């Protein structure tokens, strides 16, 4: 992790840092040319500092990690995805009010375990075809 408590992840480190994490993980998918990402970044960094003991904050560049981006259907930046025990539990695409992002982080930290207990995992090999 860097000095801002945000780890930069890529396809090769995704499993270890997101799927195997014992803490909830908040991932910001971004592009280096995205002005909305640059606008949201200071808030993301601030929340990473504030919630560093309760959650992992990570960034993933969509231009250098096509496998994970495709797997999770990321189509725009910034995309914020929240994971609990490696499973996605919340998503928001685009620039949003910082207070909405902060409330979502608080909810994940407070209620993420309940969400996992009450949900059913969907395997990656399930399709709509027989």
pLDDT digits (tens, 9 = 90+) for 38-80: 999 999 999 999 999 999 999 999 999 999 999 999 999 999 9
13 vs 86, residue with greater confidence: 13
Provide the token pair at 37. Answer: 């990402």
**Does position 88 have pLDDT exceeding 60, yes or no?**
yes
Q: What percent of the chain has pLDDT over 90?
A: 66
98 vs 112, residue with greater confidence: 98
Contact in structure between 43 and 101 (CB atoms under 8 Å): yes
Q: Which residues contact residue 85 at a Cβ distance below 8 angstroms, ignoring those fewer than 6 apart?
A: 21, 116
4 vs 40, residue with greater confidence: 40
Average pLDDT over residues 26-38: 96
pTM: 0.84
């Amino acid at each position: 992790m860097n000095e801002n408590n945000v780890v930069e992840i890529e396809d090769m480190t995704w499993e270890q840092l997101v799927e195997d994490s014992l803490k909830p993980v908040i991932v910001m998918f971004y592009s280096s040319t995205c002005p909305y990402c640059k606008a949201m970044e200071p808030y993301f960094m601030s929340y990473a500092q504030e919630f560093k003991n309760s959650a992992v904050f990570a960034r993933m560049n969509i231009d250098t990690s096509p496998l994970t981006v495709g797997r999770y259907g990321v189509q725009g930046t910034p995309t914020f995805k929240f994971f609990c025990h490696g499973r996605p539990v919340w998503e928001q695409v685009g620039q949003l009010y910082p207070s909405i992002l902060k409330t979502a982080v608080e909810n994940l930290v407070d209620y993420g375990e309940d969400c996992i207990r009450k949900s059913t995992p969907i395997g990656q090999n399930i399709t709509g075809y027989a």
